[in-house]
Amino acid sequence: MSDVLARRRVLAPAEVVTLAVALALDLADLHASGRVHGAVCAEMVRFDSDGRPRLRPGPGGAVADQAEDVRALSALGYLALSERRPPRLVEALDAGLAECGAVELAERVLASGPAAPLRLPITADRWEKTGIEPGVSPSPKMHRALVRTGMVVLLVTLVFLPRHASDSSRWTEVVLHLDRARFAAVVDRRVDELSAVYDSASAQRSRDATLIRALVRDGFTVRGRLAELTSPTLLNRSGDTATMSVLEQPAAYVLVDARGRVRLSVRDRKPRRLVIRLRRTARGWRVTDATASQ
């Protein structure tokens, strides 16, 4: 990576999206296993056979340095960024410099704008593989040769999805099952049914339990639709844990008292992006945490 910056000085914003998301996912894998990198910098970046940026193994360090890994990656993004700095990409990198996890950084950067392949410099050994003389102007022959030798990089979405969402239908079903189970628990006003949704230590479980007890106490029932989870994307999977990005669609429901009178109407909330963390138990996947992605 240092060679790329030395030759090109800066990257286009869309290239920085590709770079930052790919490396953030590598960090997420490390952090999920309880490890840290400890030396995120341009010299630690390599490119695999598909041209995808990857982190070389680092020296490691204390678990508390996970935040420093994310800050270092955000600083690398700024270093690579051209003078044209899209506000949303800057906001995403600023979040990494402040205090956010690797998964959140990947999601923020991916949502900040389009991604584009990194235009890698053509070195002498790569020219030998193409059979084209150095210094020759671009031509259809050159383009075909570069494609054959894997020099054209896939977009980050095409590189990222096969690795982190290879079974999208399965994960969609997991999220929809949990969403339906939560809806049933609230509508039925059954606290015990939340065990089919949440891990026992989940803060969200405690909040939903409080809500259900309040409904029972006040004699209210829910009619309509609670917020629905759609468009799930697997951000990270490590052993029995997984991190999903989902879109929470607006709710439209009313609270009705024992006489059938509407006491509260909830609607017109804007959709928002959530990051949901799951843990696999003997009875299936359960939610451990859910946070809004600004």
- Per-residue pLDDT reduced to its tens digit, 178-227: 988 998 898 889 999 999 999 988 888 998 999 899 889 888 888 887 88
> Which stretch, 48-62, 101-115, 121-135, 141-155, has highest mean pLDDT?
101-115
Band of pLDDT at residue 154, cut at 50, 70 and 90: very low
pLDDT tens readout for residues 84-113: 788 999 999 999 988 788 888 988 888 888
Q: Which helix (H) or strand (E) holds 269?
A: none
CA atoms within 13 A on the CB side of 91: 11
Bigger pLDDT: 58 vs 7: 58
Give CA–CA dist 171/205, Å, rounded. Answer: 21
Give CA–CA dist 131/41, Å, rounded. Answer: 33
Give the three-class secondary structure for 291: strand
* Amino acid 293: pLDDT: 65
Cβ–Cβ under 8 Å, residues 51 and 122: no
Give the amino acid at 94. D
Give CA–CA dist 270/112, Å, rounded. Answer: 18
Band of pLDDT at residue 167, cut at 50, 70 and 90: low
Domains in the chain and their CATH numbers? 2-118+153-163 (1.10.510.10), 168-293 (3.10.450.240)
- Residue identified by tokens 């910098």 is 41
pLDDT tens readout for residues 241-293: 888 888 888 778 788 888 778 877 777 667 888 888 999 988 889 999 888 76
Band of pLDDT at residue 134, cut at 50, 70 and 90: very low
